[in-house]
C-alpha cells in the first residue's frame, strides 16, 4: 500500500526521463521542518542513501546548503533576518528540475497554492500542508490534474493522521472496487489529547496551555479549537474516497467563544479562560450519560446520493468505535461494502513533529524508490 498519489499517466509523460539525480528542497523550518531534517540526518548516518538537499527555505531566507549539512543550514535560516521584500515560493522553486522533490513542511496557503504548478513541471511534492488537497475543491482538482500532466507524485501521508495508513487504505479499498459509505474519527491529535486529559475539575484552559507548550497545538491554539484543521482533514479523506466534498458542505461546531475568536494574538492566552465554563457543562452532561467527550469528524453517504459531513464535540457512549482512543491518538472508523457490519478501525499517534516528519520521510523514500 502507498500513500503517494500516483495516477495513470499518458505514455509520453510517464516515460519522460529524469536527467539528473533527484534533490530535496525543503520549505518550512519550524518544528516539523526541523524534525524532518533531523530524521534525514539520522537515516544518512545509518547508511540509508538519500538525495542531497538543493536548498532549505522559510519565509525569511533561502540557504543553498553548500556545505552539505542541512542541520547547519536550518540553524542559519532560523537566525536569518526577515525577508527584505515580497516573498514568493515560486521564485525559490525556479531552481528545481523535473524529478526533484519539494517538501512542504509549512502551513502556508501561499505555498499550497503552488503545489499544482510544481507537479505540472514534474517536480514531486511531499507535504504536511493540508491547504493543498484540503482547501477548496478546485485547488484539489488542480493538484490531481497536475500529477497527470507532469508525471510527478504527491505524497500526502502527513496531512491526515501524521502518517497513519488512512489515505492509502481508503485509496486501496477504492482501487479494489470497494465503495466507502461512511468515515468517522478523531482526526486531531491535539484535541484528542485535550479531551482525554480533561477531567471536569481543572480548567480546560490550563490543558490547552499545556498542549500548546508541548507542541501538540499550533502556536495559536485557536487553529485547533476552531475545528478548521479537522474540517480540512475530513475534506482530504472524503476526496480520497471519491467524494467531491466542498468546505462549505461541512458543518463545523467550534469550541471558540466569540470573544476568544476575536481576540488579538497577544490577548489569546488571557482569553482562553472563556473555554472553561462551556466545557465544564459539556463534561457534566456527558458524565450523566456515562459517555466520553471527543471532537469528532463524520462523513455519511446516504442511499439517495446525498452526503452529510459534520465536525464538532460529541458525547460518545462506550459502544462507539471511537470511544477507546487515548492520548494524542487519532482513531478512525471506515464503513464500506466490505466493512459494512463492523468498520475498519485505524488508530495511532496523530500529533507531534516527530511522527509528522516521519510520514514526510516515508513518502520521500517511496518516491526515490519509484514506488
Pull the grid cell for residue 62. 533561502
Cβ(323)–Cβ(296) below 8 Å: no
Q: How far apart are CA 355 and CA 257, in angstroms?
A: 31
Give catalytic residues, as residue numbers: 233
| DSSP run (H or E) holding 195 | helix 189-197
> Strands across the sheet with 24-27, in order?
4-5, 154-155, 124-127, 101-104, 24-27, 53-57, 62-63
Q: How far apart are CA 142 and CA 116, in angstroms?
A: 6
Pull the grid cell for residue 145. 490534474
| DSSP run (H or E) holding 37 | helix 31-45
Q: Report phi then psi at 113, rounded to 5.
A: -65, -15
Rg of the chain on CA atoms, in Å: 21
| Residues in contact with 315: Cβ distance below 8 Å, sequence separation at least 6, in sequence order | 282, 285, 286, 289, 291, 292, 293
| Residues in contact with 284: Cβ distance below 8 Å, sequence separation at least 6, in sequence order | 200
Amino acid at each position: 500500500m502507498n500513500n503517494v498519489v500516483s495516477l495513470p499517466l499518458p505514455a509520453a509523460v510517464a516515460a519522460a526521463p529524469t536527467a539528473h539525480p533527484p534533490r530535496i528542497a525543503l520549505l518550512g523550518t519550524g518544528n516539523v521542518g526541523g524534525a524532518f531534517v533531523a530524521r534525514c540526518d539520522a537515516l544518512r548516518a545509518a547508511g540509508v542513501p538519500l538525495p542531497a538537499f538543493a536548498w532549505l527555505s522559510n519565509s525569511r531566507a533561502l540557504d543553498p546548503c553548500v556545505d552539505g549539512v542541512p542541520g547547519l543550514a536550518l540553524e542559519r535560516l532560523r537566525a536569518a533576518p526577515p525577508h527584505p521584500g515580497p516573498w514568493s515560493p515560486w521564485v525559490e522553486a525556479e531552481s528545481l528540475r523535473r524529478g526533484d522533490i519539494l517538501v512542504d513542511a509549512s502551513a502556508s496557503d501561499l505555498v499550497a497554492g503552488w503545489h499544482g504548478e510544481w507537479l505540472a513541471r514534474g517536480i514531486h511534492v511531499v507535504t504536511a500542508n493540508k491547504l493543498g488537497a484540503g482547501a477548496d475543491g478546485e485547488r484539489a482538482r488542480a493538484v490531481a490534474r497536475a500529477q497527470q500532466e507532469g508525471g510527478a507524485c504527491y505524497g500526502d501521508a502527513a496531512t491526515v493522521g501524521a502518517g497513519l495508513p488512512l489515505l492509502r487504505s481508503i485509496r486501496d479499498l477504492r482501487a479494489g472496487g470497494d465503495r466507502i459509505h461512511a468515515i468517522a474519527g478523531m482526526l486531531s491529535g491535539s484535541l484528542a489529547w485535550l479531551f482525554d486529559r480533561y477531567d471536569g475539575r481543572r480548567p480546560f484552559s490550563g490543558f490547552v496551555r499545556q498542549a500548546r507548550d508541548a507542541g501538540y497545538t499550533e502556536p495559536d491554539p485557536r487553529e485547533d479549537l476552531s475545528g478548521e484543521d479537522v474540517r480540512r482533514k475530513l475534506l482530504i479523506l472524503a476526496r480520497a474516497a471519491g467524494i467531491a466534498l466542498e468546505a462549505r458542505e461541512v458543518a463545523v461546531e467550534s469550541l471558540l467563544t466569540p470573544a476568544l475568536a476575536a481576540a488579538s494574538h497577544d490577548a489569546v492566552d488571557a482569553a482562553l479562560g472563556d473555554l472553561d465554563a462551556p466545557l465544564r457543562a459539556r463534561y457534566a452532561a456527558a458524565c450523566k450519560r456515562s459517555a466520553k467527550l471527543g471532537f469528532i469528524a463524520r462523513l455519511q453517504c446516504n442511499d439517495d446520493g446525498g452526503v452529510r459531513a459534520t465536525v464538532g464535540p460529541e458525547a460518545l457512549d462506550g459502544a462507539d468505535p471511537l470511544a477507546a482512543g487515548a492520548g494524542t491518538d487519532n482513531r478512525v472508523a471506515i464503513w464500506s461494502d466490505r466493512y459494512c457490519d463492523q468498520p475498519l478501525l485505524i488508530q495511532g499517534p496523530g500529533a507531534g513533529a516527530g511522527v509528522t516528519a516521519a510520514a514526510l520521510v516515508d513518502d520521500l523514500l517511496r518516491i526515490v524508490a519509484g514506488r
